[in-house]
Amino acid sequence: MNNRRPLATFAVLGGIIILLIIIGSNRFGTLGGFTRAVAKPFAGFMHRAGEMLAFSKEQATSEEAMVALRSENARLAAENALLLTLEDENRRLRDYLVFAEAQKSSLQMAEIIARGVPGDSWQNRQTVTLNQGSDQGIAVGMPIVSSEGVLVGKITAVKNNIAEACLMYSADCRIAVTVAGRGDTLGIARGDLGLSVLIELIPQTQTVNERDVIVSSGLEAGMPPGLLLGYVSRVIKEGNELWQQAIVEPAADVETLRFVAVLKQ
């Protein structure tokens, strides 16, 4: 705006000068013809200056409109993103309610507010911090499940309004498991180097096959039986060993979890 003020002032002064020249030309005859000849180019210049001023104003108005349009588009995009997030959260919560109706245990919803231990990148897949704790009835050993009801870990430490849980990729997260439909315990599932889930201490007399469905056996306190963990992807069996092992493909993607449910009995 400041750059256009001198131009406007110049245009006004130019108009005054032209008016004085025309008045002088009418009064002094020949001199008037000369002054009109001199003033004509100047008048043309002033006309072009006026057009430039008008164009400058129009351009400024157009730029302001574009800025306002971009601002409105950004606002609508932010609102749409929020609505999509809320829709996804509502869908997941509905899934938890469906799972809760099929369980005798009560559920305590919790949000993951932190992942891992600072400075240790491997821990990003193995440990989570929840925004619920002992004041909400959460205790060590309780299982945590995804919105589909898949077992993803268990509580390892609690405070008043906060709790820590290990995920199934953690070597410290040991859970007694079995093949779905069997009543006995197959072995102990734990994380293997943060990359997979390994079932150890499977007797050689036990039959384990690829694609077998692995669930919690309910052997340990606070852990109900029948919670889905995953599927056997490979069986490791050595003829001279007392035990065999199995690699499990987890049924839930723990890296995308935002909410979990803690099963309270």
What is the DSSP track for 91-113?
A: HHHHHHHHHHHH-SSEEEEEEEE
Cα separations (Å) of 33 from 17, 30, 57, 68, 187? Answer: 16, 5, 36, 52, 114
Residue 18 — very low, low, confident or very high, per pLDDT cuts 50/70/90?
low
* Number of domains comprising the chain: 3
Do 145 and 215 share a domain, yes or no?
A: no
Domain edge (last residue) among 86, 102, 118: 102
DSSP letter, residue 193:
T
Domain edge (last residue) among 102, 135, 158: 102
Domain edge (last residue) among 80, 102, 124: 102
Cα–Cα dist 197/260, whole Å: 19
Q: Where are the alpha helices (DSSP H) in the chain?
A: 5-28, 30-102
Do 5 and 98 share a domain, yes or no?
A: yes
Q: Which of 62-71, 79-88, 152-161, 202-211 has the highest mean pLDDT?
A: 152-161
Do 10 and 25 share a domain, yes or no?
A: yes
Domain of 38 in residue numbering reads as 1-102
pTM of the model: 0.63
Cα–Cα dist 261/92, whole Å: 11
Looking at every residue in the chain, the average pLDDT score rounds to 77
- pLDDT on residue 31: 47
pLDDT, one tens digit per residue, over 209-226 is 999 999 999 888 888 899
Do 164 and 182 share a domain, yes or no?
A: no
Do 46 and 78 share a domain, yes or no?
A: yes
Do 145 and 183 share a domain, yes or no?
A: no
Do 5 and 36 share a domain, yes or no?
A: yes
Do 82 and 12 share a domain, yes or no?
A: yes
Vertex 226 angle, CA 253 and 237, to 5°:
75
CATH number (domain holding residue 248): 2.40.10.350
Cα–Cα dist 46/35, whole Å: 16
Contact in structure between 248 and 214 (CB atoms under 8 Å): yes
* Region of poorest pLDDT, from 27-41, 49-63, 222-236: 27-41
